[in-house]
Each structure stands twice: as C-alpha cells, then as structure tokens.
Amino acid sequence: MNNSEKGRLIVIDGLDGSGKSTQFDILKNILSDDHDVTGISFPEYDKPSATLVKMYLNGEFSKNAADVNAYAASTFYAADRYASFKLYWEDAYNKGGVILASRYVCSNAIHQMSKLPENEWDDFLIWLEDYEYDKLGLPRPDKTIILDIPVSLSQKRLSMRYGGDESRKDIHEGNIPYMEMCRKCALYAAKHRGWSVVSVCSEDGREYSPEEITGMLLSEINEVI
C-alpha cells in the first residue's frame, strides 16, 4: 500500500460472546506479518472518554437499557470513538496503515437501534452514519464483519466467562429479549449497509473452531487489503 493513500479500516463486531476478542487478537497477529497494523477496541473503558459509556452500562442512568434514548446513548459511544481516533490512530490511518477494530460505529446500529420501532430503523441508520462519519469525521470502514451467534449460545458463553455469576453481566448482556432484538438489528443493518456476516456455528448447530472462523474472516478481509 502506498503511504500517500489513506489506510484500511477493518471492523469486527457481533453480540457479546461471539468471539470478537479472540478473533481480534488472532487476526492482528496474522495481519501484522504483512502490514503495519494498529489494533483498537471499543469502548475504551480505561480512558476518560468512556466515562458516560461506563455509567450507562453500569445502570446509573437506568437499570433498563431501553429507558436510555437510542440517540443519546449513541452519542456516549461516538464520543469515545472520536477521542480514540484523534488521540491514538488518526496518524497511523493517514499514513496508510491497517486499522483493525473490535466494535465501531456499527455497534450503535446493533445495540441502540434495537430500542426503536422497526419502521424507524432506516432513519436511524441514516442519522448514525451522517453523525459519526460526516459530522464527527470518523473514517468509514473498508470492511465491516458481523460475527453472528445465536443468543442461547451467547448466553452460555457469557455464563462460562463469569463463572456462573449472572450478576456480573452488564445491563445489555443480562437482558435476553434485548439481545435477541440486537441480533435482529445486526442482521438487518448488515443486509441494508453491505456488511459481511460470518456465523460462528453451522445451520445444524455445530460450533466452528476458532481456526475455521479465522479462515472465513481472512477471506473477507483479503478482499480489501
């Protein structure tokens, strides 16, 4: 890639428990063999820019995620992304590097759009892209990939992650109807925004191995880098 070109932004997203973090680490190592790779993961909980996100997820505004306006909650996450871009990876992107992101603007479509009636989803997607990409000036991804997972499997994996302590789930993770709607939103947005979808299990329920999923993800990523 010529350094005079903008970089490439690859986004991996999906429901909690879909294996984003595992695949993010694997892909970063593989892609670093041939590219200058910067890895970013949202929200950046250890940074001041994620303060409102943490308050929201901890239930400080409401114990029910649906009570927090979809547009308001979206701005919490957008501010965190803007700060990250300006402070940590704008230079690498502008110099032609590969930016690998775990979650990005699409997360607002997955998690916040679910609070709205379906007849408002298209308007929300238009608003979201205008706000984050056009108004805030965040880079548009070259490839967005959704890791699709059935909510039942997602819940099983989260319970294992937290050692069976259900109280450790945040207000999103512990709300099964909400997560079902988030999955529906993810697949809707993918269809209408041209995102790729990689399933973590086959139609008959067999869970793909991490290596199999990595292969499918690399096939998608190699289309743009």
- Asked if the model's pLDDT at residue 220 lies above 60, the reply is yes
Higher pLDDT, residue 161 or 170: 161
Given a cut of 60, is residue 190 above it in pLDDT? yes
d(CA 152, CA 15): 11
Burial class, 177, CB count within 10 angstroms (exposed 0-12 / middle 13-18 / buried 19+): exposed
Mean pLDDT of the 24-45 span: 96
Q: How many helices (H) and strands (E) does the chain have?
A: 9, 5
Q: What is the mean pLDDT of the chain?
A: 91
Weakest mean pLDDT among 33-37, 53-57, 176-180: 176-180
pLDDT of res. 65: 77
Residue 218 pLDDT level (bands cut at 50, 70, 90): very high
Q: Which two tokens stand for residue 111?
A: 């998690």
Beta 196-199 vs 143-148: how paired, if at all?
A: parallel
Spatial distance between the Cα atoms of 21 and 25, rounded to a whole number of angstroms: 6
Task: Tell me the percentage of the chain whose pLDDT exceeds 70.
Answer: 91
Instruction: Give the number of residues written for the chain.
Output: 225
Q: CA quadruple 46, 21, 185, 7: dihedral positive or negative?
A: positive
Q: How confident is the model at residue 23 (pLDDT cuts 50, 70, 90)?
A: very high
Please give the DSSP secondary-structure letter assigned to residue 167: G
Domains and CATH numbers, the chain: 8-221 (3.40.50.300)
> Is residue 3's pLDDT more than 50?
no
Written in H, E and C, the secondary structure of 15-70 is: CCCCCHHHHHHHHHHHHCCCCCEEEEECCCCCCHHHHHHHHHHCCCCCCCHHHCCH
Q: What is the pLDDT of residues 105-139, one digit of tens each?
A: 999 999 999 999 999 999 999 999 999 999 999 99
Beta-bridge partner residues of 189: none
Distance of CA 106 to the CA centre of its chain: 6
